[in-house]
Structure 1
Amino acid sequence: MRERRSLHNPLRIMPAARVAVVALIALAGCSLGQRDNRPDARNAGAAHGVGTPLTEADIAAWNIDVAPDGHGLPPGSGDVATGARVFAAKCAACHGAHGEGGLGDALVGGKGTLSSAKPKRTVGSYWPYATTLFDYIRRAMPYNAPESLSADEVYALSAFLLNQNGIVPADARLDAASLPRVAMPNRDGFVPDPRPGRL
């Protein structure tokens, strides 16, 4: 037995027409609820009741990038001997006892290989800035606990790795003033970015 359909029942609208009705209702709802969110004098200081304003301390916890010129380096210092101890305890398991590589990348060696058929890109052979070493260690290492090292430990690790690569002497102590002055062997091996505001 066939079902009787009433032409006057709004719930029995054909599928294509039903889609059109839903779309029209959605558009009408959007236009009724639209707000002018442009920043102007009327709403520039309005509180929307969403989220929590960030404090300078909140921002400082995330604002840890270090520029090639050393801008952003924190207070603190570290020497090669301390860096050797920190490396043995927290880095050698992945990078090898002397930074030669293992589970993690090699950090030492590669001098003179960049123009060869098998370049070895390490901190000492490839990286153009010593500050990048600090920035990377501070953000990403150790692999199982990133951002867990103190600024002094990161300075010490930087000093140790730079010493292992023959860039700083065994008695070097690095800090925010001395680290940017370290001359990396491949500093001139990169092409400057000509765009404004780029280094």
Structure 2
Amino acid sequence: MSMRSLVAITLAILAFGGLAMAAGGTRVAHPALGRTATTEDVAAWDVSIGPDGKGLPPGRGTAETGEAVYLAKCVGCHGEKGAGKPNDRLAGGRETLASDQPAVKTVGSYWPYATTIFDYVRRAMPINEPKSLTHDEVYAVVAYLLKINGIISDGEIIDAQSLPRIKMPNREGFVPFARGQ
């Protein structure tokens, strides 16, 4: 056995041993492995929004308001008007919808439901502070993303009633998956 392999194995054993001692010793606040999740723990993460919009929270936003939020919290990763490269692009690509596999996967060319955009932004953005946007800010950012992709017009109000009714350009571009079969 080489010296490099021996060092790697030793470090792995020490790391796993340290984790085991931490789990058996004092309780660690996060991620709280080994304890039963409370109803409150589950409720905080049980916020999925499906295509029908069931579970969308109260709130509203416009593209104009969303642009201000976007410039303050999103432009650093996603670029001006969603032109981030290579994987953080949010706008454009609709011309690739004619192919079997859209080459440019953005909000306007790939996502099948506007409610999914809300769900994702609310949970995961901004990347350095997920779940930090208010419901109004999420609605506004989604409105801005829909506007820069040519899906909605200036002045449209996005809320729990209007968002599920938006027909995304690639809605029919996915094969339905029947769960539980």
| Post-superposition offset of 1:147 | 0.4
| Residue from 86, 93, 115 that aligns with 1:131 | 115
Higher relative contact order structure (alpha carbons within 8 Å, sequence separation ≥ 6): 2
Q: How far did 1:92 drift?
A: 0.4
Question: Secondary structure of the equivalent of 2:154?
Answer: coil
Q: Which has the higher helix share?
A: 2
Cα distance in structure 2, aligned partners of 1:134 and 1:164: 15
- How far, CA to CA, are the matches of 1:66 and 1:117 in structure 2? 25
Task: Supply the distance in 2 between the matched residues of 1:195 and 1:117 (Cα, whole angstroms).
Answer: 23
Q: Which residue of 2 aligns with 1:74?
A: 57
Structure 1 residues 102-117: aligned runs within 5 Å: 102=85, 105-114=88-97, 115=99
Q: Is the 8 A contact 2:63 2:141 kept in 1?
A: yes
| Superposition deviation, residue 72 in structure 1 | 1.6
Is contact 2:92-2:106 (8 Å) kept?
yes
State percent identity of aligned pairs: 56
Q: How many residue pairs were aligned?
A: 147
Q: 182, 185, 188: which is aligned to 2:172?
A: 188
Structure 2 match to 1:94: 77
Question: TM-score, normalized by length of structure 1?
Answer: 0.68
Q: Is contact 1:94–1:104 with CA below 8 Å preserved after alignment?
A: no
Matched residue, 1:60: 43
Which shifted more, 145-154 or 99-108?
Answer: 99-108
Unpaired segments of 5 or more residues in structure 1?
1-49
Which structure 2 residues correspond to residues 7-18 of structure 1 after superposition, within 5 A?
none
What's the CA shift string for 1:135-166, capped at 9, x where partnerless?
A: 00001000100000000000000000000000
Distance 1:175 1:125 in 2: 22
Range with greater deviation from structure 2 (102-111 or 147-156): 102-111
For residue 131 of structure 1, what is the amino acid of its counterpart?
T
Structure with greater Cα Rg: 1
Amino acid at match of 1:160: Y
Root mean square deviation, CA, Å: 2.2
Retained in 1: the 8 A contact 2:102–2:109?
no
CA contact (8 A) 1:95 1:103 kept: no
Consecutive unaligned residues of structure 2, counting only runs of 5 or more, are: 1-33
- Alignment partners' CA distance in 2, 1:73 and 1:67: 9
Query: 1:172, CA displacement in angstroms?
Result: 1.1
Bigger mean CA offset, 175-184 vs 57-66 = 57-66
Give the letter for the 1:172 counterpart.
E
Q: Which runs of 4+ in 1 moved over 4 A?
A: 50-53
